Chain A
Amino acid sequence: MTAAFLVASAFLASAVEFVEALTIVLAAGLTRGWRASLTGLAAATVVLAAIVAALGPTLKLIPIDALRLVVGALLLAFGLQWLRKAILRASGYKPLHDETAIFAREAEEARSAASERRVGLDWYGFTLAFKGVLLEGLEVAFIVITFGSTQGNIGLAALGAGIALVLVATVGVLVRAPLSRVPENTMKFAVGVMLTTFGIFWATEGVGAHWPGDDASLPGVLAFVVLLSSGAVALLRRRRLAFA
């Protein structure tokens, strides 16, 4: 059960980030040329792989309870950001994430930027793709490392991220347009719920408390977070409509 949660969480979180990274790579590629954009993508991928390769084995040296406490606390702080934004979007307090609009804005900025060549590349296109992929990818790396190391299986978390990468890259190559039909807002909500669920679970184990039924209580924690966030959406929606 935990393994399925682990792969599903890594897959969902990674898919959301890869869809955002794809939008930036497409905007850079279509406006500034594919050579600079794809070189930026490749360079960022190498940096991300190096980060995961360096941090993954290092975290294995930390005692598991201390690791779960630190990871649980980080995931709670990080996951609550996702969950709060997802709740605000779902209840209408924050505009929905729109890949088409983001693509149009990035492409317009890229078109109007001055041309400068360094090491034979269009520098703006390279840095746009590099920074975009690195920043979106860091969230994926963070999730793969924290989820994987806490469960003692970085490979399984990396598998979820890898499936998402192949899927998004394949669809991106086929459609050559931002993936605006992906239910990104729903996926972001699901990721916020999963990050918060794992954060609660591991932080509680990290402080030395024991869940009734151990790992079997994870679905219960998930149900609690789903109820909590759905309740918050319903309440906020009602309040917004009442004041509209």
Chain B
Amino acid sequence: MRFFLFLWDFVVGDDWRAAIGIALAIGAAASVVAAGVNDWWLIPIGVAVVLALSLRRETQQPR
């Protein structure tokens, strides 16, 4: 159990929403490729959106 907690903290860290956002972007990119479109641009856009939202959450939290 402690190992999985460590693994979670190691990969996901303190923003699980960002990790879900990345997973969604990759899933969406895979679906679009399966439909026959070479969507090399989709994951970079997804990363930009996920990063922006994560930074917004972090800087708006009361410190």
Contact B51–A83 (Cβ < 8 Å): yes
Contact A232–B40 (Cβ < 8 Å): no
Determine the distance from Cα of A212 to Cα of B39 in the docked complex, in whole angstroms.
11
Among A30-38, A40-48, A71-79, A104-112, the stretch that binds chain B is A71-79
Assuming the A-B contacts A76-B22, A221-B44, A228-B48, are A207 and B59 also in contact, with contact meaning beta carbons closer than 8 angstroms in the complex? no
One of B13, B14, B40, B42 near A211 (C-beta < 8 A): B40
Determine the distance from Cα of A244 to Cα of B43 in the docked complex, in whole angstroms.
35
A81 at interface, CB cutoff 8 A: yes
Question: Which B residues from 10 to 63 make CB contacts under 8 A with A?
Answer: 10-15, 18-19, 22-23, 26, 29-30, 33-34, 38-40, 42-44, 47-48, 50-52, 54-55, 58-59
Determine the distance from Cα of A206 to Cα of B39 in the docked complex, in whole angstroms.
12
Q: Which residues of B contact A76 (CB under 8 A)?
A: 22, 26, 43, 47
Q: Which residues of B contact A77 (CB under 8 A)?
A: 11-13, 18-19, 22
User: 1/0 per residue A72-95: CB within 8 Å of B?
Assistant: 111011101101100110000100
Contact A88–B55 (Cβ < 8 Å): yes
Contact B51–A228 (Cβ < 8 Å): yes
Assuming the A-B contacts A80-B54, A207-B30, are A236 and B59 also in contact, with contact meaning beta carbons closer than 8 angstroms in the complex? yes
Contact A209–B33 (Cβ < 8 Å): yes
Q: Mostly helix, strand, loop or mixed at chain B's interface?
A: helix
Chain B residue with Cβ nearest A88: B58
Assuming the A-B contacts A76-B22, A93-B59, A232-B55, are A200 and B38 also in contact, with contact meaning beta carbons closer than 8 angstroms in the complex? no
One of B10, B40, B50, B58 near A93 (C-beta < 8 A): B58
Contact A210–B40 (Cβ < 8 Å): yes
Contact A84–B15 (Cβ < 8 Å): yes
Question: Which A residues from 180 to 217 make CB contacts under 8 A with B?
Answer: 196, 199-200, 203-204, 206-212, 217
Q: Give the 9 A-B CB pairs with smallest separation, nearest first.
A: A81-B13, A207-B30, A208-B33, A209-B40, A77-B19, A207-B29, A76-B22, A204-B43, A209-B33
Task: List A residues at the B interface (Cβ < 8 Å).
Answer: 69, 72-74, 76-78, 80-81, 83-84, 87-88, 93, 138-139, 142, 196, 199-200, 203-204, 206-212, 217, 221, 224-225, 228-229, 232, 236, 239-240
